[in-house]
Amino acid sequence: MRNPDVTQATIGSTIYVSGWTATIRPSSTYTNALKKQHIIDYGYTDTSMSD
């Protein structure tokens, strides 16, 4: 997925700035829920979230 805020003109104030990724990353609550659902959806026998 492409972030429209990141362009050649804004790269110096976006991805090249320490900590910028943390400002756009979804919370672990959100991503863990997705992981759990995908494990179910894909029918994986290994249901360990760390794998």
Report whether pLDDT(49) > 90.
Answer: no
Q: Quote the CA–CA distance of 19 and 50 in Å, as a whole number.
A: 25
What residue ranges do the domains of the chain occupy? 11-42
Confidence of residue 9 (pLDDT cuts 50, 70, 90): very high
pLDDT of residue 26: 93
Mean pLDDT of the chain: 91
The pLDDT value given to residue 19: 92
Residues of the chain above pLDDT 70, percent: 100
pLDDT digits (tens, 9 = 90+) for 25-39: 999 999 999 999 999
**DSSP secondary structure string, 8-37?**
TTTGGGTTTSTTHHHHHSPPHHHHHHHHHH
Three-class SS state of 41: helix
